[in-house]
Chain A
Amino acid sequence: MALTRTFGALSALDGVSLSVASRTRHAVIGPNGAGKTTLFNVITGQVSPSGGHVLFEGRRVTGLPPHAVARRGISRSFQRTNLFLKLSVLENLRLAAGADGRGSWSLFGRVDRLRAPLERAMETAEAVGLRERLSAPAGALSYGEQRQLEVGVALATRPKLLLLDEPTAGMSPEETLRMTRMLEGLPREVTLLIIEHDMDVVGSLADRVTVLHYGEVLTEGTFDHVKRDARVYEVYLGSA
């Protein structure tokens, strides 16, 4: 890939090469400003790279608008909760689940007759632990529940590759544990690329870890391998 993204003179990604194997759970770690979120933005088409390209299933997705990238099977959650706050939990999930169908073009049909998105929404609500909160407006959820829904909205689109941007950000230890269990329970068919600061989460979840530092890949390997790397300790883990 060798992705580059510059914002003016600032180089957020500088020749980052990253390859995520299908069915793995891959974590991206690194200090703030390392370019982790920019990497996600480039993969999902929110930001176009200044150089390099992204291949998914052997096809270029670089240059596609975000909705087209999502339709290829790449979905993401956001670091800052990014929901439909006035809509109910069910509606949040149903909208996400309906994005891939032609049913959403129906002008005179009825929402509750669209079986597939509804079922998918219910399944997802179950998976992210919000089955009891279906009719609550997203804006009325607790912070932890909003984070669960944030992941749920990304998951409801049935992605092949799921990008999670700090799913446990700002969560209490119990909430973090619940989120980790939930992510562990995801089917293996969903390839996971996750940005995470909590090393316990990374340790229990990730098959592979890539360390970003100042927009460059510092090292990559298993969690144990990366943990023992002196440079990683110096730039990141030592301070964390």
Chain B
Amino acid sequence: MIVRWAAVAALIVGAAVFPALAGKYPVKLLQEILIWGIFAMSLDLLMGYAGMVSLGHSAFFGVGGYVAALALVKSPGAVSGLLLPAAAAALAALVIGYFSIRVSGVYFIMLTLAFSQMFYAVTFQAAWLGAEDGIVGVPRLAALGLDTAQPLQFHLYLVGLVSVGALCLWRIVRSPFGHVLRGIHENEPRMEAVGYAVNRYKLLAFVIAGTVAGVAGALYTQLVGSITPDAFLWTTSGEALLMVIIGGTGTLGGSMLGAAAFILLQSLVSSYTERWMLILGLTFILLVLFAPGGVVGALRGRVGIRS
């Protein structure tokens, strides 16, 4: 236990001091990994713990990103950069979740996918959201004595926020609520039969996951300084899904590993060939065939690390 916490602390500190050790490009890669990692972790809460496979998680990433862009252009405070995007994503998740959790399996996948594509269609058309060009020139948050226009301060803010988000999720899956989610995943009708209002638990899980995804979207907007309708595209959800599976569903930490593997592979291979998706696809096929539990699953099998 102490070893594990020490490892987590070392990782956080390592990520925080990374700019002192590496150049601009590796730092940007790390920042992307952290953002996609927390986004994938939020999806893992749904997939790996509650057993709800969603292909519409991009909706919340996009809502967070767009609301942050709109608000930060007006005023660069913490409300604009963090609270408002999180609240908007939570609200979107509440509405989408309310309808989607009524169905399960393939229907849940299709419904969440449809909702996220609706956002794509709307933002693609809406002139006040910059239509297909999106919103550009978004400033970064400046609040609480932080001026994240400074690269280092932004980095520390990013590492801090992602760490807090990850620890919250880590705590949630081990809480009584998290155990209820596992019960629902294992045997939903029996949970219903012993007295759990299953849909309410699923809805809360959906809202939590959506909120965290919204924060990831807000961070992403500030990282690149812009947001486009592509954030809502189903490929955004699909990539997060791949990251979760690569890392190992139901492991949380695996999602961060999966994000790292995905983004590193992408940047590595794409510097040699345009066809990086092909290489990634092959890697993914091999991984699913030979390590169906993902990277973490394979490690647990080898080293005997227990959950």
Measured CA separation A42–B206 after assembly (Å): 31
- Most A C-beta atoms less than 10 A away, residue of B174, B176, B177, B198: B176
Contact with A along B171-187 (1 / 0, CB 8 A): 11011110110110011
- Residue A7 at the B interface, CB < 8 A? no
A123 and B189 CA atoms in complex are apart in Å by 24
Residues of B with C-beta under 8 A to A76: 193
Is A31 close to B, CB under 8 A? Answer: no
Contacts of A75 in B (CB 8 A): 193-195
Contacts of B144 in A (CB 8 A): none
Bound complex: CA A96 to CA B204 (Å): 20
Interfacial chain B residues near A156, Cβ < 8 Å: 194
Residues on A with beta carbons closer than 8 Å to the beta carbon of B195? 67, 70-71, 75, 99-100, 157
Q: Which chain B positions have C-beta within 8 A of A157?
A: 194-195
Contacts of A66 in B (CB 8 A): 189, 192-193
Find out whether the CB atom of A67 lies under 8 angstroms from the CB atom of B190: no
Assembly CA distance A108 to B174 (angstroms): 8
Report yes or no: A99 in contact with B194, Cβ–Cβ below 8 A: yes
Chain A's nearest CB lies how many Å from the CB of B300?
15
Range for the number of chain B residues in contact with chain A:
20 to 34
- Smallest CB–CB gap between A60 and chain B, Å? 18
Please indicate the chain A residues that have their CB under 8 angstroms from the CB of B289 in the complex. Answer: none
Interface size of A in residues (CB-CB distance below 8 Å): 38
Contact of A104 among B174, B180, B208 (CB under 8 A): B180
Complex Cα–Cα for A163 and B62 (A): 49
With contacts A67-B197, A70-B193, A96-B194 taken as known, whether A83 is within 8 angstroms of B175 at the C-beta atoms is no
> From DSSP, what is the main secondary structure of chain B's interface residues?
helix
User: Which of A85-93, A172-180, A195-203 lies on the face that meets chain B?
Assistant: A85-93
B191 close to A (CB within 8 Å):
yes
Q: Is A228 an interface residue (CB 8 A)?
A: no
Does B107 belong to the interface (CB within 8 Å)? Answer: no
| B193 CB contact (under 8 Å) in A44, A86, A87, A103 | A44
Q: Which of A78, A87, A103, A105 contacts B186 (CB 8 A)?
A: A87
Shortest distance in angstroms between A115's beta carbon and chain B's nearest beta carbon?
12
The verdict on A27 contacting chain B, using a C-beta distance below 8 Å, is: no
Beta-carbon nearest neighbor of A95 in chain B: B183
Chain B, Cβ-Cβ closest to A86: B186
Residue A65 CB within 8 A of the other chain: yes
CA–CA, A28 to B246, complex, Å? Answer: 52
Please measure, in the bound complex, the distance between the C-alpha atom of A75 and the C-alpha atom of B183, giving whole angstroms.
17
- In contact, A153 and B177 (Cβ under 8 angstroms): no
User: Whole-angstrom distance from the CB of A96 to the nearest CB of chain B?
Assistant: 4
Q: How distant is the Cα of A99 from the Cα of B168 in the complex, in angstroms?
A: 23
Is residue A110 within 8 Å, beta carbon to beta carbon, of the partner chain?
A: yes
Whether the Cβ atoms of A98 and B198 lie closer than 8 Å is no
Say whether B99 faces chain A, with CB atoms less than 8 Å apart: no
Q: Who on chain A is nearest to B190 by CB?
A: A82
The answer to whether residues A107 and B190 also contact, given A67-B197, A84-B183, A157-B195 and a CB cut-off of 8 A, is no
> How far, in whole Å, are A87 and B175 apart by their CA atoms in the complex?
15
Chain A residues, Cβ within 8 Å of B196: 67, 99, 104
Q: How far is the CB of B220 from chain A (nearest CB, A)?
A: 25
Contacting pair B186 A114 (CB below 8 A): no
Chain B residues with Cβ below 8 Å from A94 are 179
**B197 nearest CB neighbor, chain A only:** A67
Interchain CB contact (< 8 A) of B176 among A83, A87, A111: A111
CA distance A84 to B171 in the complex (A): 22
Supplied contacts A82-B187, A98-B180, A111-B174, 9 more A-B pairs, CB within 8 Å: A75-B194, A78-B193, A83-B190, A84-B190, A85-B186, A95-B191, A104-B179, A153-B194, A154-B194
A–B pairs, 6, beta carbons within 8 Å: A75-B195, A84-B190, A94-B179, A99-B195, A106-B175, A107-B172
**3 closest A-B pairs by CB:** A70-B195, A99-B195, A84-B186
